[in-house]
Each structure stands twice: as structure tokens, then as C-alpha cells.
């Protein structure tokens, strides 16, 4: 299976795809371009920020929670206005936000990383009902944050370690016990980037530099892969009216001679439906 072009705008670092279930609208980011992108039918939409922005969750029909370089923001889609909900490493000039996703309990998991890929500079946090708590320190490149359909397991990775981790959760969505390796990609020398879980519990993982998104079963076994024209695949997200489309962001950064596909946003029909993104509960 091969993905096709959804949007031709070139992102230096496309990331954070989100299908808003109430608006039936797709959003994504160009982290290095400091932009939130979307479309109204065939009309392209963009919102410019003054610092890096990377990931979002939906709060209500008109509001997103957006992770920026130094804060979690409450963003009004209609006006483009935003306000700080919670600082995010505001006094650390080394880091920015990266991968994030809402959890089944109304929380929002967000990871940070070094602006220059500094080893161990980042942390994965959980924002839950107004408070931000650190979960995993010493993270180099936070990625693959997503959740099993039953809400009992979270997944995440530190990309340079080339392993996707599974973390048991308690009844309020907090980590319980130590995380365990679910998918080990070291023997294939693959770099796990963003991930999303489908309705059957399969994990779809974008593999940076490999031009593909691979599906792994809940026990970690490889199932299938979708070829993507963009070499640096960064993150998938399910969307469409039936949640039967898989949107995929990519990046142009680091490519010496990027062609017209690099940094584009793509879509595939994988034959498996996804799950609606969970709502972020602010208080």
C-alpha cells in the first residue's frame, strides 16, 4: 500500500497531526516553520506563532490545547488567539516541545527534546486537570505517545534508543510500574517517530528516514507497512468521517536535495479504522 498526497505545502518538520472529531477537520504543524496548518475544503489555512509549536489536543469545538516551545496554550481556532495554560520548561533555552497526545482520561502527554538534539535534554510530562507532572526524564527525542483502546496502556519512545515502550496505567491514567519494551527496532536500524493506535489495538509507527508507516500488533509483532513518498515520515493520525483514513506528516529537514514530495502531508486508506482523539479536560 502506498500513501498519496493530501496537501502539497512543504513542511520543514511536519508533525503533530490531529483529526478534530467535532469539527471533522484535520490539523498539523510545521515545527520549524512555527505554524499550525489545516484546510477548509480545498482552501489552505495557516496560523503563525512566534516560537516552535508541535502538538495539540482538542478541548471543545472551537478550542485546542497546543504545545509550544515554552508553554501549553489554550488556542481559539476562530480568532487565532491564545493564552498560556501552563509553562513548559520556560527557563530552559535548550529545549522545545515535540510529540504529544491526549489520553483516555482527559490528560495530555507531551514530550520535550533538545533544539540541537542534545542527548537526554528532554522529559515526557502529563498535563492533567491543570497540573503538569514529569513522568520520564533524560529523554533525547520524545515520540510515539499514544494509548491502547482500553486505556490501560500507554506507548512512547525515545527515538535514538530504537524501542517503543509499553507502560501500564492505573485507573486515573498514571503510570503503574516500570515501562517494558514492546517493539525493538535496533536489528533493523529503524528510527521510531510518532505513533497512533487503531480500533483493534494495532500501533501505527512512522519510521523517520524510511519512507514508511508500519503497523505492529498489540503484542509487538510486525503486521504490515504503508509506503510514503516523503522519506522522513514523522507521525500518523486517523481521520475522515469514518476514521478510516490515515494522515501522515513528513519532514524536509536534513535532505540535501528534497524533491516535491518531501515535507508534504499524505493520506492512505489502511482498511482498519482508528479511534476518535480523546478530549482534553482542562479542569
Strand-pair category, 4-7 with 14-20: unpaired
Cα(265)–Cα(250) distance, integer angstroms: 6
Nearest to 217 by CA among 205, 234, 232: 205
- Lateral strand order in the sheet of 35-40: 14-20, 25-30, 35-40, 43-48
Q: Cβ of 113: how many Cβ atoms within 10 Å?
A: 26
Catalytic residue, from 12, 103, 193, 198: name it: 193
Question: Of how many residues is the chain composed?
Answer: 283
All three cell numbers of 149, joined, read 483502546
193 catalytic? Reply is: yes
> What does R_g of the chain's alpha carbons equal in angstroms?
17
Position of cell 491502547?
148
Q: Cβ of 227: how many Cβ atoms within 10 Å?
A: 14
Q: Phi first, then psi: what are they for 160, rounded to 5°?
A: -60, -20
Give 52: exposed, middle or buried? Use CB within 10 Å, 0-12, 13-18, 19+.
Answer: buried
Nearest to 25 by CA among 199, 241, 204: 241
**Residues with catalytic function:** 193
Amino acid at each position: 500500500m502506498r500513501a498519496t498526497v493530501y496537501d502539497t505545502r512543504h513542511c520543514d518538520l511536519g508533525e503533530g497531526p490531529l483529526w478534530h472529531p467535532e469539527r471533522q477537520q484535520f490539523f498539523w504543524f510545521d515545527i520549524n516553520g512555527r505554524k499550525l496548518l489545516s484546510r477548509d475544503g480545498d482552501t489552505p489555512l495557516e496560523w503563525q506563532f512566534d516560537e516552535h509549536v508541535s502538538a495539540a489536543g482538542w478541548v471543545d469545538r472551537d478550542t485546542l490545547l497546543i504545545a509550544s516551545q515554552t508553554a501549553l496554550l489554550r488556542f481559539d481556532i476562530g480568532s487565532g488567539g491564545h493564552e498560556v495554560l501552563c509553562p513548559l520548561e520556560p527557563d530552559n533555552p535548550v529545549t522545545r516541545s515535540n510529540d504529544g497526545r491526549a489520553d483516555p482520561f482527559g490528560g495530555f502527554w507531551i514530550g520535550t527534546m533538545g533544539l540541537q538534539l542534545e542527548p537526554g535534554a528532554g522529559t515526557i510530562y502529563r498535563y492533567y486537570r491543570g497540573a503538569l507532572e514529569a513522568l520520564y526524564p533524560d529523554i533525547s527525542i520524545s515520540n510515539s505517545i499514544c494509548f491502547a483502546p482500553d486505556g490501560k496502556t500507554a506507548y512512547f519512545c525515545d527515538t535514538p534508543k530504537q524501542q517503543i515502550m509499553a507502560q501500564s496505567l492505573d485507573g486515573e491514567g498514571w503510570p503503574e510500574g516500570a515501562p517494558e519494551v514492546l517493539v525493538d527496532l535496533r536489528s533493523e536500524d529503524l528510527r521510531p517517530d510518532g505513533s497512533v493506535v487503531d480500533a483493534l489495538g494495532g500501533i501505527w509507527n512512522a519510521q523517520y528516514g524510511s519512507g514508511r508507516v508500519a503497523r505492529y500488533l498489540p503484542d509487538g509483532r510486525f503486521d504490515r507497512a504503508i509506503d510514503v513518498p516523503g522519506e522522513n515520515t514523522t507521525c500518523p493520525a486517523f481521520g475522515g468521517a469514518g476514521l478510516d483514513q490515515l494522515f501522515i506528516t513528513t519532514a524536509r529537514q536534513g535532505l540535501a536535495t528534497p524533491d516535491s514530495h518531501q515535507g508534504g502531508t499524505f493520506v492512505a486508506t489502511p482498511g482498519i479504522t482508528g479511534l476518535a482523539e480523546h478530549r482534553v479536560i482542562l479542569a
